[in-house]
Structure 1
């Protein structure tokens, strides 16, 4: 499949598509407002029926959304009148649509995501084995988790539509995007051209074959992690038993990172009843030259998992849906899989010293978390470094941006309000929370990035009138809180 003729790609004329759509008001905020939902990337048929009715107007943004978001036919005259800078003949020339009998029909789904546009296969082609998905929920999770710091070389492993590669291209000098699916690479090239991105290189191949000998500063991967008995869709099925794909990727990735480089990928794992999830995934990095942070998002029973991943195809094959559920659940029984876990892993190459592994369960994500990820890794270095408590007491710290302190009061037996809980909440990133007592909360107010932990504790103790004999105990209490909050990314060194 070749959407864009090479001559047009060289001339960068395809950038006119993005410019015209933005001018027409076909942007992420506008689409969310038109459809009255932030989750407008859904492919569910019932949502499409509702969305079609919400886009019944004749505004340029509604017309663009009907064509490229819902892939509905649009009258050519109506389109040309609404978007004169992007006539139907130009869309046909770029390979994005066809014109026949005065009717404009999209060949791709083209959806705004943030300030970029992402093209993928229309939902009507979802039964094709080489179907290329767009900005799915998992893709959004990985994009939010990704570290966004300047880097020399980035890798989008299993790039699909190229969303991770395009976002990496903003802070990496060079990005390589690989995929086993040639159509995925074609979509990545198309999306790079539409968005004016010229530092992404596409390579065809499986696993790490296309990038042998290279070391990366940042590696992002949204693999076909679904545990399934099928080998039907390249974006979903690995064709490998159980969770062996993720196990292999996690075990080998560190060998392809530069020293200090990070890898972030989505994973799933087979979960027997008699083993903790973190024990299972920790085995995957045994002997790897990496520090590893595993994040657990959710766990599903076999039937729920099977239904979720076969749900998009139930309308196309109503009779086949029950058979697929039975086939998948039988496979899980044969494999001894009681549950399926889903999450992410963050790896950092560190060849010197003993590598560490930690695991956390997540409650909810609240947007970009890259800065918090870096704070957590820096905190682990500080807490595991030489010097122990003495070094930590001598370290200037401050609360990271994006937090709030909530106090819960109840009316006591005397009629007065009594404090029952103080909770510190991260309002961005991974949304961690922690409970504090009031003296520790007062101590945190003195962590201004200039005072050391010891100085802040002394200042807070004096301010509250604490007897000098209690200062040592107060410092230890403050130190314990500092350790916990550092581990979760609430604090950062100056």
Structure 2
């Protein structure tokens, strides 16, 4: 399927043709992420992100252009013509459908939410009414084709995406266009697909109002619209919810269990160029009698390395309740809610599913068909520091390095301790010596690893000036140990410190690698 003309996608949505004038007006009023924080204050701003609007209403009782825009687009309250005309090119906004007449005033036809780009850009995410503030509030009983705005999942995916400049990028299930907007900053050509034609229309509005280049928008499910084309970067926040049926297009994939995520991951390998990345958010089942890590590992396509990180696990009751609230079913009659809850549990029981995992999946097309691929699957529910794009890229570079360096080569290498690594000594109060030493990262994945005194001392003196072997020889002399034995037993610890990002080869020192 080729490019889709968005002029016929959703006749009830605004036209983007004069969005430049609207963008200029929004910026002139300081309708930006920073401007909102200044106007509302931190508590009201944070409440707005939780979909609580009362504090923001109290903070916008004046008639300034910024207060008017907040009430109009974020709080969805009508404003009088005089205030609207002072804040907007009103005739254009009415003609193009951004606002509509409402008695003696006007009201917004869509949500427009300021969104700060990674380099300080002032962007705007356009979505259905009531779906921008908070974002994660879900459809709450709305039409199945509802298009959501910014939520925690979308910002998570944007933060973990590798941002190396590329020729081509593909956003699968683009929704309101957030990932396509990010990709447009570092990809020469961006293609965005979605099964919902309204989503493609919203993505076009988001790109236009944010001053970004147009994307190639294509209607269809997952990878179907791109046929056999290949890309340097693929991203997707797909409809990954494991549910009984496909009631809501934006979240329910319509395939059984976690088949949608599995098929998307498996098929994406064929759509990646050599060295390209594919990055997804996903849910997967924890099935009775199965190892969840082996289940997800089996999804990785041939010719790809993978890093799969499980961030959260919910039992089936927690999971069902979360998504029943998302769809507004908790507001229905008790017997109807109970019937739907039962349907979710019946589905999980039939599939022997005891819990659902959520996390990130990153593939890199390595093309190393004959070699053993690097597939790392781990459970990491701990806090991390976004953005993680460089951390993700460096993970794969470290895997490449370790695959091509045996123990002898490691001992010849010069290493540098990564930035912001701290040492902690753990033991009972008053003890003469600590029970063990912990190295802790204060950036990226914020890992902590337990090491012995030799590994701790080794890491502490790694400044690139001496080879690993010479450092170990010096340590052996200090502690009175046979240097040959120390050289034999330490490379495994060095390998772990490199793999987890505590040490990096000195040849990488020219670039920041945590």
| Cα deviation 1:431-462 (Å, max 9, x = unaligned) | 32223445533432433345443345456x38
Q: Distance in 2 between matches of 1:79 and 1:437?
A: 67
Indicate how the Cα distance of structure 1 residues 374 and 457 shifts in structure 2: closer, same or farther if over 3 A, else same. farther
**Scaled by the length of structure 2, what TM-score is found?**
0.84
1:343 to 343, 350, 359: 359
Q: Distance in 2 between matches of 1:474 and 1:41?
A: 58
Indicate how the Cα distance of structure 1 residues 60 and 272 shifts in structure 2: closer, same or farther if over 3 A, else same. same
Q: Distance in 1 between matches of 2:387 and 2:128?
A: 27
1:309 aligned onto 2:326 = no
Partner of 2:42: 36
2:165 to 132, 150, 169: 150
Partner of 2:203: 188
- Following TM superposition, by how much is the alpha carbon of 1:87 offset from its aligned partner in structure 2, in angstroms? 3.5
| Cα deviation 1:394-432 (Å, max 9, x = unaligned) | 23332344x331535778448x8x656644333333332
1:109 aligned onto 2:111 = yes
| Cα deviation 1:255-309 (Å, max 9, x = unaligned) | 1101111101011112123322101111222x62211211101111112111111
Partner of 1:329: 345
- Following TM superposition, by how much is the alpha carbon of 1:215 offset from its aligned partner in structure 2, in angstroms? 1.2
SS of 2:27's equivalent? helix
Q: Distance in 1 between matches of 2:427 and 2:483?
A: 30
Q: Distance in 2 between matches of 1:245 and 1:193?
A: 31
1:482 to 460, 472, 494: 494
SS of 1:338's equivalent? strand
| Cα deviation 1:230-264 (Å, max 9, x = unaligned) | 21111111111111111111111101101111101
1:364 aligned onto 2:383 = yes
**Scaled by the length of structure 1, what TM-score is found?**
0.88
- Following TM superposition, by how much is the alpha carbon of 1:89 offset from its aligned partner in structure 2, in angstroms? 2.9
SS of 2:478's equivalent? coil
Q: Distance in 2 between matches of 1:68 and 1:425?
A: 44
1:373–1:489 CA contact under 8 A, matched in 2? no
SS of 1:284's equivalent? coil
| Cα deviation 1:63-90 (Å, max 9, x = unaligned) | 3222222222223323434x3xx23333
Partner of 2:126: 119
Partner of 2:218: 203
Partner of 1:75: 80
SS of 2:53's equivalent? helix
1:32–1:40 CA contact under 8 A, matched in 2? no
| Cα deviation 1:337-392 (Å, max 9, x = unaligned) | 1111111211111222222321111212321111111111111112222x411112
Q: Distance in 1 between matches of 2:64 and 2:114?
A: 17
Give the alignment of 1:235-314 within 5 angstroms. 235-285=250-300, 288-314=302-328
SS of 2:398's equivalent? helix
Indicate how the Cα distance of structure 1 residues 397 and 228 shifts in structure 2: closer, same or farther if over 3 A, else same. same
- Following TM superposition, by how much is the alpha carbon of 1:4 offset from its aligned partner in structure 2, in angstroms? 4.2
2:406 to 370, 388, 394: 388
SS of 2:444's equivalent? coil
How much is the aligned-residue C-alpha RMSD, in angstroms? 2.7
1:90 to 89, 92, 100: 92
Indicate how the Cα distance of structure 1 residues 407 and 16 shifts in structure 2: closer, same or farther if over 3 A, else same. farther
1:173–1:199 CA contact under 8 A, matched in 2? no
1:404 to 417, 421, 428: 421
Indicate how the Cα distance of structure 1 residues 122 and 94 shifts in structure 2: closer, same or farther if over 3 A, else same. same
- Following TM superposition, by how much is the alpha carbon of 1:120 offset from its aligned partner in structure 2, in angstroms? 0.8
Indicate how the Cα distance of structure 1 residues 182 and 275 shifts in structure 2: closer, same or farther if over 3 A, else same. same
- In the comparison of the two structures, how many residue pairs are matched? 476
- Following TM superposition, by how much is the alpha carbon of 1:132 offset from its aligned partner in structure 2, in angstroms? 0.6
Q: Distance in 2 between matches of 1:312 and 1:411?
A: 47
- Following TM superposition, by how much is the alpha carbon of 1:177 offset from its aligned partner in structure 2, in angstroms? 0.6
2:241–2:283 CA contact under 8 A, matched in 1? yes
Q: Distance in 2 between matches of 1:208 and 1:232?
A: 21
Indicate how the Cα distance of structure 1 residues 88 and 423 shifts in structure 2: closer, same or farther if over 3 A, else same. farther
1:368–1:428 CA contact under 8 A, matched in 2? no
Indicate how the Cα distance of structure 1 residues 315 and 234 shifts in structure 2: closer, same or farther if over 3 A, else same. closer
2:459–2:503 CA contact under 8 A, matched in 1? no
Structure 1 unaligned blocks of 5 or more: none
Question: Larger deviation: 172-181 or 62-71?
Answer: 62-71
2:65–2:83 CA contact under 8 A, matched in 1? no
1:218 aligned onto 2:236 = no
1:374 to 390, 393, 408: 393
